[in-house]
Structure 1
C-alpha cells in the first residue's frame, strides 16, 4: 500500500463506524504512540474492542493489524524526534523489566532479519566487494560504530580500504574524490537516516562505483541508490538505536568475505604473528594490569 496511512484514514473518516472513528482520530492525533501499541492496548485506549481494531485495519486494506502497525512504524521511523522517542519508549516499557524487554526485542530483530534477508543480494554484495579495487566504508552518527567495526576487519582482509571519517559533507566528498567504476562503497544508515550518507552514495553511484547499502527497509533512501541492499531490522530503545541485528549481519558479511579470501587472510595473520613476536607486542601477564 503506497499511500500514506494517515492520508487514507483522513480521506475515509466519514465512512467509518463510531468505533472506527475513535481509532482513526487517535491514530491521527497520536500516531507516534499508536504505532507501537498492540491491538488490545489500542482498543482499551479508545474504549473499543480488540476485534474492532482488527476490523479497522482490514477496512483500510491491510492483511490484519500487524500489517497496519508495520505501515505506521515505517512511516514514522525517520520522523520522531529524540524527545518523542523517549516518550514512546516509556509508554512501551511501562512497568516491565527493562533488561528483559530490550534484549528480547534485540533477539526478535535478529530473527526477523534472518527470515527476511535476501540471500542472493548478500551473495552479490560479497562478489562485488571481493572484486573491488578499493573499498570505501561510510557510516555516521550511531552507524559510525558499525562502520569502524567493519573497517577494522576489512583492513585485515583487503589491501585498499578507506574508512571515511567526516564532520561535514565537504570532507566526505574530499575522501571520495577518486572513487570510480572499479570501486565499491558500503553505506550504513538507519532511522533517522543520514543525509550525508545518502549524498555520498549518490556521488559514488554517479561515478560508476558499485553501491552496497546496509539499512533497514525498502523505504530507506539508501535502497533506491544501492546496487546491492542488505537489510537488517533496527529498533529504537528510548533515544538509543538498537543495532544488534545490523551488527550480526555485518559479522556474517565479514565471515563470508574471510572465507573467500582465506589464503590471503592466513598469510596476513602469519605476517602479523611474526611482527608481534619480533617487536614483543604481546604483554606479559604481570605487566598488563
Structure 2
C-alpha cells in the first residue's frame, strides 16, 4: 500500500495521536497498523481487538472530527480501497463462498449503496449538474477502463435528448485533439472509479488548461481528478469491491437524462423525431411493422 501518512484519514490519526488518552492511542496505533482489518470491524469488534470499550471507540472517532463511526469507516474504506491490488481484493472478507451467499452479498451491497446515496444526495447539486448539461454548447464525456462503460452509457443516453454530445476514451490521445477543438465553455464530464487511471487525471488537467468546465463523477472524495474539477459528484460505496459497484452510477445517469427530458427543452421533439427518421431510413432498429 502507498504511503499511509499521505492520506487524510491516517494523517488525522497521526496528528491527534499525542493528544489522545492511552486507550485512544491504542485505537489509533491499531488502525494505522491494520487499516485493512479495521475497515471491516464493528465498534464492538474494534473495541475488543484493542481491549477498550465501545464508548471509547465512539469518543475516539469524535475526537478525529467524524460525526459517527459510519462516517469514519467510509473515510477509512476510501483509503484502503485506493491502495488495494487485484490479489488483495480477492483475499478480502466475503469475496469467497457458496454461489447463493455471494449473490446475496452483491445484491445487499448494491442496495446498501443505493440507500446511502438516496439518503445523502444533495438535490441542488444534481440540479446544477443538469443545468450545465442542458446549457453547455457541447458535452464531452470521458472514461477509461471500467469507467468507460459508464461514460458510454451517459454519452449515448444524452444523444437522445440533445445535440453536441461526444463520447471519448481517456486512453486515446486524440481526446486531446477533440478537447482542443471544442467550443468555448464546453462541459467535460470525466467518470472515474477506483483505481483511477492516470490518463483520466491527465485529461482533467487538459480540460482545465483549455478553459472548459469540468465535472467529475467518482466514487471517493480521495479521487485524484477532483482537484481539477469545477464541480464533482461523489457516489461512495460502503464496501470494497473486486471490480466496482455499477448500480448507483447507473441510476444517476438515468436520473440526469430523465430530468433533462422533464424540462421539455424546445428542441427536444424535433431532435428525437429526426433521430427516429434516421433509424427508420437506415433500418437501425427492429420494426415489427416493417416490410
TM-score by shorter chain over 0.5: yes
After TM superposition, the structure 1 stretch with the greater mean CA deviation from structure 2, 218-227 or 262-271, is: 262-271
Match of 1:27 among 21, 24, 31: 31
The answer to whether the Cα contact below 8 Å between 2:35 and 2:76 also exists between their aligned partners in 1 is yes
* Deviation (angstroms), 1:162: 1.4
Match of 1:6 among 2, 5, 10: 10
* Deviation (angstroms), 1:3: 7.9
Unpaired segments of 5 or more residues in structure 2? 1-5
Corresponding position: 1:148 with 2:159: no
Indicate the residue corresponding to 2:3 in structure 1. Answer: none
Indicate the residue corresponding to 2:201 in structure 1. Answer: 198
Indicate the residue corresponding to 1:183 in structure 2. Answer: 186
Indicate the residue corresponding to 1:221 in structure 2. Answer: 224
Corresponding position: 1:108 with 2:87: no
Indicate the residue corresponding to 2:171 in structure 1. Answer: 167
Indicate the residue corresponding to 1:233 in structure 2. Answer: 236
Match of 2:59 among 34, 37, 55: 55
* Deviation (angstroms), 1:164: 0.5
The answer to whether the Cα contact below 8 Å between 2:141 and 2:189 also exists between their aligned partners in 1 is yes
TM-score (norm 1): 0.81
CA separation in 1, counterparts of 2:224 and 2:239? Answer: 19
Q: CA offsets per residue over residues 234-278 of structure 1, 9 Å max, x none?
A: 355541211211111111111112233555333344344445555
Q: Structure 1 residues 68 and 274, CA, compared in 2 at 3 Å: closer, same or farther?
A: closer
Q: Over the residues paired in the alignment, what is the CA RMSD in angstroms?
A: 3.3
The answer to whether the Cα contact below 8 Å between 2:216 and 2:232 also exists between their aligned partners in 1 is yes
Q: Give the paired residue count.
A: 283
Indicate the residue corresponding to 1:38 in structure 2. Answer: 42
CA separation in 2, counterparts of 1:12 and 1:95? Answer: 44
Q: CA offsets per residue over residues 196-253 of structure 1, 9 Å max, x none?
A: 2222122122222111221234443333322232232235554121121111111111
Unpaired segments of 5 or more residues in structure 1? none
CA separation in 1, counterparts of 2:134 and 2:95? Answer: 45
